[in-house]
A and B are shown apart, each in its own frame.
Chain A
Amino acid sequence: MSKRMGKQTIKFDSPPSIIATASTVGPKEGKGPLASYFDVVLHDPLWGEDSWEKAESKIVRKTIERVIEKAHLTPEDINYIFAGDLLNQLTASTFGIRGLNIPFFGLFGACSTMSESMSLGAMVIDGGFADYVVAEASSHFCGSEKQFRFPLELGTQRPLTASWTVTGSGAVVLAKNGTGPYITHVTTGKIVDLGIKDPNNMGAAMAPAAADTIITHFQDTGRSPEDYDLIITGDLGSIGKELTLELVRRSNYDIEKVFSDCGIEIFDPVTQDTHAGGSGCGCSAVTFAGYLYKEMQNNKWNRILFIPTGALMSPGSTQQGESIPGIAHAVVIDNKWA
């Protein structure tokens, strides 16, 4: 039977299980509402290293080592790592993973990387090409500011529409055999660009892509919002969330009751001064690896639609006046598989 459903969705014949997750976050995330769900909270964003890039690489390496250990496996058992980050040439992932001796596929999906790595990892397992795969994504507030915005000590004001890049890494081990939660479906997003040019309003740039993927997922699978306990996007923030709700509503789906966003969950906008919310590859990665996975194990939710969202721009494209292309990949994670 074909594994394809509709235009952009696939359904796995033998869904891979997520057998372990691990998360490492920075000090600010460790003071946020989800603090208790994370494995490691750093007190120092440099973690004893001498640059932001090296610190993020260390976060990547330690998180991957931890997730392999939590799955009671050794690095030799892992067939592939799928991972990515926001730094040029995937600096954090590449230098974090170089000592691990595990075959590696580097991914760039901007902040949508976590579902990109989980999607591809699950496909590789369902296709029979691997028994165990690690999927990981990371970001670092200070490294991102340095690369995309201004030096940290520059006295500027952040607009109210801006988001705050999460410092952290989330990793999962996907296994051919396991008892769930399972990855049952993947809806791969296409690039959607409705002309937003403001890099300080990335929620608005990504919302059309998120809405497109959500609507396509319902059309492809024949499911409706009621089939999910939670539909959660990656880092749209408060503005992007409103826009996505409106765009999805126009296609006659009402997701408001079950809809949330990792960027909204991870910080308290009042006490933590994060403006629109959290962002970055690490935002959806640590929220999934910490909060969502653990609460699925507690049966708070049994079936979720997890949709990390990415803004695929570079500092150069913005300076050249280009608009911001958005993307969103959806992954269905289900406690049961029938």
Chain B
Amino acid sequence: MDQMQDMKKEYEQLVEKVSPKSNTVRDCARAFWVGGLICTIGELITNIIKSFGYNQDEASMLTTITLVFLGILLTGLDIYDSIGKYAGAGSIVPITGFANSMVSPAIEFKKEGYVFGVGARMFTIAGPVIVYGVIASVIVGIIHYFI
């Protein structure tokens, strides 16, 4: 048994040696500028909305809605996956990435019907984000209440 464990460990090291590593510096730079650009576009949208006389809260909400719409539109046009392939976390983390993670399974599972396909599968990727996002906000809320 020990011999098998040794063999597995040795093989793991061999695999590690042979497998190519991704270029972290390049990937970070790409994520930074694309993620930054998405945020800048968000700021731009907020400022435009505010120029029509809306206050900060209203403008923030309308910006979120606009960015989600853009994320969905670019997913439907087969563009967002190419952005994601280039930018990685840069386009996953902003709210456009959240929209992409909802709509892409909805497109993929449309053939399984609107209830068990689109309706149920839409949350396969975004579902955990919602669940743990809500739990985290509850915890933060409780802490905020006491301090």
State the Cβ distance, A153 to closest chain B Cβ, in Å: 4
Q: Are A154 and B15 in contact (CB under 8 A)?
A: no
**Closest A residue by C-beta to B10:** A194
A243 and B81 contacting across the interface, CB-CB below 8 Å: no
Given contacts A153-B108, A160-B21, contact A195 B14 (CB under 8 A): no
Query: How distant is B130 from chain A, measured CB to nearest CB, in Å?
Result: 16
Residues of chain A within 8 A (CB-CB) of B100 are 153-155
Question: Which single residue of chain A is at the shortest CB-CB distance from B97?
Answer: A155
Contact B11 A153 (CB under 8 A): no
In the complex, are the beta carbons of B84 and A155 less than 8 A apart? yes
Interface size on B, residues (CB 8 A): 36
Residue B144 at the chain A interface, CB threshold 8 Å? no
Interface residues of B in 101-125 (CB under 8 A from A): 101, 103-105, 107-109, 111, 125
B75 & A161 in contact (Cβ 8 Å cutoff):
no
User: Are the CB atoms of B92 and A156 closer together than 8 Å?
Assistant: yes
Q: Are B14 and A243 in contact (CB under 8 A)?
A: yes
* A251 located at the interface, meaning its Cβ lies under 8 Å from any Cβ of chain B in the complex: no
Q: Does any Cβ of A come within 8 Å of B58's Cβ?
A: no
Contacts of A35 in B (CB 8 A): none
Q: How far is the CB of B103 from chain A (nearest CB, A)?
A: 7
B125 touches A150 (CB 8 A): yes
Contact across chains for A153 and B80 when beta carbons are under 8 A apart: yes
Category for how many chain A residues contact B: 20 to 34
B23 to chain A, nearest CB (A): 9
Chain B, range 16-33, C-beta contacts under 8 Å to A: 18-22, 27
Does the CB pair A195–B105 fall under 8 Å?
Answer: no
**A152-165 to B contact mask, C-beta < 8 Å, 1/0:** 11111111110000
A residues near B75, Cβ cutoff 8 Å: 153, 155
Is there an interface contact between B105 and A201, defined as CB atoms closer than 8 Å?
A: no
B97 touches A160 (CB 8 A): no
List chain B residues, Cβ under 8 A from A51: 111
Contact B15 A196 (CB under 8 A): yes
Q: Does B46 contact A (CB under 8 A)?
A: no
Interface membership of A126, Cβ < 8 A? no
Cα-based distance from A152 to B76 in the complex (angstroms):
11
Contact B81 A155 (CB under 8 A): yes
Q: Which one of B21, B27, B104 contacts A154 once the chains associate, using CB atoms below 8 Å?
A: B104
Q: In the bound complex, how far is the Cα of B88 from the Cα of A160, in angstroms?
A: 13
Partner of A161, one of B20, B81, B82, B104: B20
Chain B nearest CB: distance from A47 CB in Å? 15
**Contact between chains at A159 and B22 (CB < 8 Å):** yes
- Cα-based distance from A194 to B4 in the complex (angstroms): 8
Given A146-B108, A243-B15: A155 in contact with B80 (beta carbons within 8 A): yes
A270 to chain B, nearest CB (A): 14
Q: Which residues of A contact B78 (CB under 8 A)?
A: 153
Chain A nearest CB from B70 CB (Å) reads 13
Contacts of A157 in B (CB 8 A): 27, 84-85, 88
Contact of A152 among B27, B88, B104 (CB under 8 A): B104
Give min CB distance, A244 to chain B, whole Å.
11
A21 and B39 CA atoms in complex are apart in Å by 55
A204 adjacent to chain B (CB < 8 Å): yes
- A interface with B by C-beta (< 8 Å): 50-51, 53, 146, 150-161, 194-196, 201, 204, 208, 239, 242-243, 246
Q: A151-B105, A154-B84, A196-B11 are in contact. List 5 more A-B contacts (CB 8 A).
A: A154-B105, A157-B27, A157-B84, A157-B85, A196-B12
